Structure 1
Amino acid sequence: MKKPLLIICLLSILFPCLANATEVDYKKFGRIASVVVKEDYPGQAVKDYHYLGRKQLTSEKVSDTFEFTVQENNRDKRVLIIVVHDLANEKTLNITVHE
C-alpha cells in the first residue's frame, strides 16, 4: 500500500515541473516565431496566433509549429512557422516559413 501511494506523490510533485518546462519552451520559441513573421512581413498586421504543437523528430530534436494570420493587401494569409531545436542544448537548428 505504501509503494503506490509514494509513486502517486512523486508524480504529483514532478508533473507540474515537467509541464512548466514545456510552457517555457512554448513561450521561447513562440517569441522567435513572432520575430520571424514580423521580419518577413514588415508593416503587415498580425491578426491571430496559434501554437499547433510539438513533434518529436529524433531522440534529441523536436519541432514546434506556430500558425499566424497576417493581413497582406487587405487579405488574410495563413503563415506556418516551424522551429526545429535540440532538447539537449536548447539551440535553434532550423526555422521554416510556409505560406
Structure 2
Amino acid sequence: MKKSIMMLVTVFFLLFSSNVHALQPSDYEKFGRIAAAVMKEDYPGQPLKDYKYQGRQKLDENKLADSFEFTVQENNKEKKVLVKVVHDLSNEKTLNIAVEEVK
C-alpha cells in the first residue's frame, strides 16, 4: 500500500514538474520581444510580415548574441532586416542592439 502511494506521488510529481517547465517561456523570447519593439520604432506604421529566430552566438564567457530576422513591408516592397541583441548572462541585461537590412 505504501509503495503504491509513493509511486502515485512520484508519478504526479514528475507530471507536474514537466508541465511547469513547459509553461516557462524560452529564454530567447524576451529578446525577441525587444527586437520586435525596436523594429516597430525603426519602421513605424510598416507591417511586420514575418519573424524568425536565427540562433544564438556565444561572444565570450558571459556575453551572448541572439539574432532575429524580420520581414517588413515598406513602400509595397518586402525587406529582410536582421536584429542582433547582445546581452550579458551574469546580470541578464541587454548590452547592444544592432539593426541591419539584409541585401
Q: Give the alignment's TM-score, normalised by structure 2.
A: 0.74
* C-alpha RMSD over aligned residues: 2.1
User: Structure 1 20/83 Cα, relative in aligned 2: closer, same or farther at 3 Å?
Assistant: farther
User: Structure 1 58/84 Cα, relative in aligned 2: closer, same or farther at 3 Å?
Assistant: same
Aligned to 1:92, the other structure's residue is in SS state strand
Report sequence identity in percent.
Answer: 63
Aligned to 1:50, the other structure's residue is in SS state strand
Residue number in structure 1 paired with 2:95: 93
Q: Tell me how far apart the structure 2 counterparts of residues 29 and 70 of structure 1 sit (CA, whole Å).
A: 18
Gaps of 5+ in 1: 1-15
TM-fit CA distance, 1:45: 0.6
Aligned to 1:38, the other structure's residue is in SS state helix
Taking the TM superposition and a 5 Å limit, the aligned residue runs for 1:2-41 are 23=26, 25-41=27-43
Q: Tell me how far apart the structure 1 counterparts of residues 92 and 33 of structure 2 sit (CA, whole Å).
A: 14
Name which one, 1 or 2, has greater alpha-carbon Rg.
2
Gaps of 5+ in 2: 1-17
Q: Tell me how far apart the structure 2 counterparts of residues 19 and 59 of structure 1 sit (CA, whole Å).
A: 28
Q: 1:53 aligns with which of 49, 52, 55?
A: 55
Which aligned segments of 4 or more residues in structure 1 are displaced greater than 4 angstroms? 18-22
Aligned length: 83
User: Structure 1 95/49 Cα, relative in aligned 2: closer, same or farther at 3 Å?
Assistant: same
Matched to 2:64, the amino acid is V
Q: Tell me how far apart the structure 2 counterparts of residues 22 and 57 of structure 1 sit (CA, whole Å).
A: 23
Q: Give the alignment's TM-score, normalised by structure 1.
A: 0.77
